[in-house]
Structure 1
Amino acid sequence: MLLSWRHYMHISEGVLSPPVLALGGVITVAGTAMGLKHLDGEKIMTTALLTSTFFVASLIHVPVGPANVHLILSGLMGITLGWACFPAILTALFLQVLFFQYGGFTVLGVNTANMAVPAIICYLLFRPLLTSGKKGQKVAAFASGFIAVLLGTLFMAGSLFASDQQFFNTAKLVCIAHIPLMFIEGIITMFAVTFLAKVQPEFLQLKTK
């Protein structure tokens, strides 16, 4: 199996080349170190809650074509946690490997990087829009959910292709299968951020006016 087909973004062990594994490991170590540096007391509860949400959401699978897809919520984690999403995603994926054998320990770095890097990109691009009014807030949230899944899928495909060009067709099929998820994640992230901004802005670290 090229991927853990039942589990979106979980590349199986024995598939990726050593250089790709090494690069993913380096990125994850560096990102986690940065995330822990930014993980202050105010973010611990939020990070723990979103880590558990990420863990549970990814256990619910829906068949789409050749693969099963599930919610990722990496866009929501990125725009909410910033760099702290790296240790959050790493922790959730580690527990999934430990308890359910999703992916594997040797590919943990790559699988984490493939989800956390897009989340950070969304944080850097869209976080400032959360305080630009309701319309900007909705646009930022939807874009974060959509683009996080889009980039995560492309990074996963790139990891496979960089290891062996014969994986191109497989990676292309998985990307196509996850197009609906991109819109679903965008909508869910938009509603989640809009709701939290109204009832509990401190969860998003937004200043109340």
Structure 2
Amino acid sequence: MHIADGVLGTPVLMAGIAMTLAGTVLGLRKLDDDKIPFAAVLSACFFVASLIHVPLGPSSVHLIFNGLIGLILGWLAFPVMLIALVLQAIFFGFGGVVVLGVNCLNIALPAVMVGALLRPLRHRIPARILGFLAGSGAVLLTGIMVSLSLYLSGEAFSSTARVVFWGNLPLSVLEGVISGFIIVLISKVKPEVLNGVQSNA
């Protein structure tokens, strides 16, 4: 899901920076002491999972677990994703510094949206389905946003935007299945993560 530097137009970059800053401020305001361990662990999960990626034009395809992060942490997804993306850009050259705002927005905003939509349903649907909907839905939205970012940057990227979108469809299913298993495990060994922490996110 990382877009490389030098690809996007200036208006898209500026909008991404502004919206990521706003989301990060909102997320940090909700950072309580009891959420710090979850934020750290989930940031590390995103960091490690996205190291294994398949290049796809000026972007890439990889696991991101943003649905899981949004479900548990809500708006904290912004600072969690931002920290991991900064480290990846600095140490591994994934994405870039200039495009950091757009990359974070494309991953964190779907996490927040999916979390807000599914959080009220956490006691009404099975944990496996909850996890699948969160994982697949967030990746699907991220794929749409990455494609839109490319499309809005010029006609030259319209075909690439379509390739990126279709390339993320199988990933959304895979991420949904993995997230479903993770939510089932969490609900068995540490259910307060789903019942307590995310209700305040």
TM over 0.5: yes
Structure 1 residue 63, shift from structure 2 partner: 7.5
Q: Which residue of 2 aligns with 1:6?
A: none
Structure 1 residue 206, shift from structure 2 partner: 3.8
Q: Which residue of 1 aligns with 2:13?
A: 21
Give CA-to-partner distance per residue, 1:13-33, whole Å, 9 cap, x none: 111111111110111000000
User: Superposition pairs for residues 37-56 of structure 1, below 5 Å?
Assistant: 37-56=29-48
Distance 1:15 1:204 in 2: 39
Distance 1:155 1:66 in 2: 14
**AA at the equivalent of 1:161:** Y
Q: Which residue of 1 aligns with 2:22?
A: 30
Give CA-to-partner distance per residue, 1:83-117, whole Å, 9 cap, x none: 11110000000000010011111100000000000
Q: CA RMSD in A?
A: 1.9
Which residue, 66, 74, 78 being the options, matches 1:82? 74
Structure 1 residue 176, shift from structure 2 partner: 1.3
**AA at the equivalent of 1:197:** S
Q: Which residue of 2 aligns with 1:70?
A: 62
Seen in structure 2, the aligned counterparts of structure 1 residues 154 and 91 have a Cα distance that, compared at 3 Å, is same
Q: Which residue of 2 aligns with 1:116?
A: 108
**AA at the equivalent of 2:65:** L
Bigger mean CA deviation after superposition, 54-63 or 81-90: 54-63
CA contact (8 A) 2:27 2:75 kept: yes
Q: How does the TM-score come out when normalised to structure 1?
A: 0.88
Q: Which residue of 1 aligns with 2:142?
A: 152
Distance 2:169 2:47 in 1: 21
Distance 2:155 2:124 in 1: 44
Q: What is the percentage of aligned positions where both structures have the same residue?
A: 47
**AA at the equivalent of 1:38:** K
Distance 2:137 2:54 in 1: 20
Q: How does the TM-score come out when normalised to structure 2?
A: 0.92
Q: Which residue of 2 aligns with 1:189?
A: 179
Q: Which aligned runs of 4 or more in structure 1 are off by greater than 4 angstroms?
A: 62-68
Distance 2:56 2:5 in 1: 23
Distance 2:6 2:114 in 1: 30
Distance 1:130 1:83 in 2: 17
The gaps in structure 1 that reach 5 residues or longer are: 1-8
